[in-house]
Amino acid sequence: MKTLAEKIKKLPNTPGIYQFLSKDKKIIYVGKSVSIKKRVGSYFNNKNLGPKTDMLVKNIADVKTIKVFSEFEALMLESELIRTNMPFYNVIAKDDKSPIYIKIEGEIPIISLSRKVKPQRGVFVKGPFPSAKATKDVLKIVRKVFPYCQHKNPKKPCLYVHLGLCPYPYKDAATKIEYKKTVDRIKKLLSGKSKKLIRELSSEMQQASKKLDYEKAAKIKKQIQNLEYLATVFHTPREFLEKPTLVDDLALIRLKDLKAKLNLKKLPRRIECYDISNLQGKLATGSMVVFINGAVEKSEYRRFRIKFSNKPNDYQMLQEVITRRLKNSWPQPDLMIIDGGRGQLNAALSILAKFKSGDIQVASLAKRLEQIFIPDKILPIALPKESPARQLAQAVRDEAHRFAITYHRHLRSKAFLSRIT
């Protein structure tokens, strides 16, 4: 039987929930972290924990974990575990404060935080959450998808209205009706019904397009895209509790589906993805992100400042990045995914041929139609949105794009500051 120290060493370095158990197998504390291993290890490595946390550590006999895909899932799962188990050290950490909830009520529904909640008809309540910060984090994510109002009868639009985070439902009757629909969708999202929401919004978007209301259709499309991201990675607390290995199971399904759909020789355990970011060739950057066994491995990420080209030529820039990557003795990928179409794929293949790395499998993913190009097929592969292979390929590509853009913006800011100082 493994000791507690042995278990901690083998904890996953991924986002998730951790549960501390006492000698009698009772859950005494529930927490969340972007890195379970680092967070749990900090309890035992830090000597300045404070009296409450020190008492907690002395009573830990075992630790259990559940991996998740996203911060939103972690927040919701942590809340559910605390609600159903009421762990002793989560309760005393509140300093005798009552639990905190998300509450939605009123003729024009107002979303607020509340510590005192009584069952009332027409009042939606979600929680309890472990802290005010955790609750606000949930609402921050929700607000990016569905802007909502927090003020009763304001005399004029608040700052959130100007930022596009509040629809100001007091404007007129039509705005009020539309806002109530938005709040109903927020309730469904908080209740884990994001997939049903996407179906409803898709139908409404099609109706708006038929009526030539393209502004409304575009707005709904953006909401659907945000929800699709959540739906791809978001699963309800119940799903995780029923199947704690859900993350690993789904990752394996996606890897197997990607192998089958792209006709790969072996399961792509290590996937690398490349993206180029530039503004008319200036301050061009390249990114390399790495997924291992279907999960991000940020310690393997690499970024490149383009050296040999100041012209806006994505092909040459991509070739430079892959050349510099192959000159390093990093672990060989099972699959390279390139952000782009047939041209980017061919540019990558030409460099692999020079380095005699033809055994590395390559594919490219074009943003516009989300089509996948592979060397052996003339026509691109078009997979449905619900395809596990497409979901994995998109997740890898989107992460490479995010990483490249972040570095490019950093360089632009740095260059701007150097000009004004």
Looking at CATH, the fold of the domain delimited by 249-420 is given as Nucleotidyltransferase; domain 5 (3.30.420)
pLDDT in the model for residue 96: 46
Per-position DSSP letters for 293-306, written without gaps between them = TTEE-GGG-EEEE-
Tell me if 31 sits within 8 A of 39, measured CB to CB.
Answer: yes
Query: C-alpha angle 302/308/312, rounded to 5°?
Result: 90
pLDDT at 231 over 60: no
Rounded (10°) angle between helices 132-145 and 214-233: 140
98 pLDDT higher than 50 = yes
Q: Is 295 left (phi over 0), alpha (psi -120 to 50) or beta?
A: beta
Band the pLDDT of 211: cuts 50, 70, 90: confident
Cross-strand bridge partners of residue 303: 287
Check residues 228 and 334 and name the one with the higher pLDDT.
334
Q: 340: which residues sit within 8 A by CB, 6+ positions away?
A: 314, 318, 364, 365, 366
Q: Which residue has the higher pLDDT, 214 or 127?
A: 214
4-70+88-92 is classed in which CATH architecture?
3-Layer(aba) Sandwich (3.40)
Residues 70-87 pLDDT 10s: 777 888 898 889 888 989
Q: Where in the chain is the domain with CATH 3.40.1440.10?
A: 4-70+88-92
Residue with the larger pLDDT of the pair 226 and 216: 216
Q: What are 305-314's pLDDT values in tens digits?
A: 888 756 668 8
CB 237 within 8 A of CB 263: no
pLDDT for res 319: 94
Q: What is the pLDDT of residues 389-403, one digit of tens each?
A: 999 999 999 899 888
Q: pLDDT value at position 204?
A: 86
AA identity, residue 371: Q
Mean pLDDT score across all residues of the chain: 86
Partners of 295 in beta bridges: 292
**Chain segment 117-157, per-residue pLDDT in tens:** 777 888 898 877 777 877 888 888 888 888 888 888 777 88
Three-state secondary structure call for residue 285: strand
138: left (phi over 0), alpha (psi -120 to 50) or beta: alpha
pLDDT digits (tens, 9 = 90+) for 189-203: 888 777 778 888 888
Q: What pLDDT is stored for residue 290 in this prediction?
A: 97
